[in-house]
Amino acid sequence: MNAILPFAVNFALACFALAMVCALIRLLRGPAAQDRILALDTLYINGMLTILMLGIGFGAAIYFDIALLIALFGFVGSTAMAKFLLRGEVIEP
Amino acid sequence: MSAADVPLWAALPATVLLICGGLLTLVGSLGLLRLDSFFARIHAPTMGGTLGAGCVLLASMLTSTALAERLVIHELLITLFILITAPVTTTLLMRAAMLRSRE
Amino acid sequence: MKRPPLLPLLPVVLAIVWLLLNDSLSLGHVLLGLVFAVLVSAAVRLLRPLPAWPQRLHVAIHLCWQVFLDIVRSNIDVGRVILGATRRQPTIGFVKIPLDLRDPHGLAMLSIIVTGTPGTVWSGLDPATNVLTLHVLDLQDEEAWVRTIKHRYERPLMGIFE
């Protein structure tokens, strides 16, 4: 039994929550479209880390799969949006 | 089975890693707010994406290995995936921003 | 001199990924992973006409360690820039670097290394002249960046991939 790991988990959760608030403010305020996409990219990585943190806190392995799926779909989403900004379409004919 | 049951030899390094990872990610996201132009901001989230995620994933590997009492390293997959894919998005965004700022 | 590697790289990596994903080493998963690895690499061969033959494992390991150290160092640097941003905004700028590396896999690795390190972003390569445009967060000394990229990353990558 130890008390330091739950403390560290809570501390890191608070850090990620604050980081997500920062990204959210940039997402709502961002002057250009690329700022918003950058904020979304940061938001999904922080969300994935939050899920992993819950996995450590509850000691359950199922959170790993959720984090892997968030990483996969977040990458596909933000790359598709960046590509759309670059060329005006996602999949070129 | 929860975070309080992790033996001390794994809990101590995991604690240090989690605090480092949390602070790094927080500073990286804070950069989104504090830096002025988009070209400066694009560098900030890379901090959370590389070392922050690496610290947290290493801590996750440590605690799940200690809880399961066998080697559990499947978090390595997420680490590799993030390391390979995060630069792709950043490069595409950079080129899009260069194209749009030139117009 | 290019020679085929001892082990086919792609099927081995795919089999390892399958075992990691299932988090087991049982006989059934090993067999299934091997079957998947062979099938997928046969299917991918049609998509990628250029196989990568990385060589010199010790150079690659040394490069990985170097990149890890650089990521830690530049994380600290970028963190300091962000926390001090109220007093002084960083001077951003582009650096043009002529490259000697031609191998596409080596260039891909270089772009991942450069962009994965906080503070620098790969922002385009002119295919005709092979000149890399690099975006740097806190640009003080242009010559130092050119020297760092060419000496620290490009030379080992040329040793590995060419």
pLDDT top residue among B2 and C124: C124
Partner-chain contact C92 B42, CB within 8 Å: no
- By C-alpha distance, the chain C residue nearest B84 is C112
Position A24 pLDDT exceeds 60: yes
The model's pLDDT over B46-62, given as tens digits with 9 standing for 90+, comes to 888 888 888 888 888 88
Higher pLDDT, A25 or B6: A25
Inform me whether the pLDDT recorded for C83 exceeds 80.
yes
The ipTM assigned to this model is: 0.86
Is the pLDDT at A1 greater than 70? The verdict is no
Q: Where are the domains of chain C?
A: 9-47, 57-161
- Position C1 confidence tier, pLDDT thresholds 50, 70, 90: very low
Structure tokens at A37: 């996409």
Q: Which helix (H) or strand (E) holds B3?
A: none
> Which amino acid belongs to residue B49?
G
Please state, rounded to an integer, the average pLDDT across all residues of chain B.
Answer: 85
Burial of C82 from C-beta contacts in 10 A (0-12 / 13-18 / 19+): buried
pLDDT for the residue A73:
92
Q: Residue B1: helix, strand or coil by DSSP?
A: coil
From first CA to last CA, the distance across chain B in angstroms is: 57
Contact C97, C145 (CB under 8 A): yes
pLDDT at B4 over 80: no
Of C79, C121, C122, the CB nearest to B47: C79
Report how far apart, in Å, the C-alpha atoms of C107 and of each of B49, C57, C113, C122, C134 are: 21, 18, 10, 11, 13
**C21-76 pLDDT tens trace:** 887 788 888 888 889 888 888 888 777 767 677 777 788 888 889 888 988 888 88
Are B90 and C119 in contact (CB < 8 Å)? no
Q: Report the relative pairing of strands C93-98 and C131-136 from DSSP bridges.
A: antiparallel
Cβ B48 vs Cβ B30: under 8 Å: no
Please state the rounded mean pLDDT for residues A14-38: 89
Question: What residue spans of C84-122 are helical by DSSP H?
Answer: 104-116
Instruction: Note whether C106 and C161 are within 8 A (CB).
Output: yes
H helix intervals, chain A:
4-29, 33-58, 62-87
User: pLDDT, tens digit, for every residue of C118-152?
Assistant: 888 888 888 788 888 888 887 777 788 888 888 88
Backbone dihedral region for residue C98 (phi beyond 0: left; psi -120 to 50: alpha; all else: beta): beta
**C77 and C139 in contact (C-beta within 8 Å)?**
no
Nearest by CB to C122, which of B24, B77, B91?
Answer: B91
Instruction: Determine the residue among A15, A35, A87 to mutate to test chain B binding: the one whose Cβ has the most chain B Cβ atoms within 10 Å.
Output: A15
Chain B residue closest in CA terms to C20: B74
Cβ-based neighbour number of residue B12 at 10 Å: 16
| Residue C73, SS3 per DSSP | helix
| pLDDT for the residue numbered C49 | 66
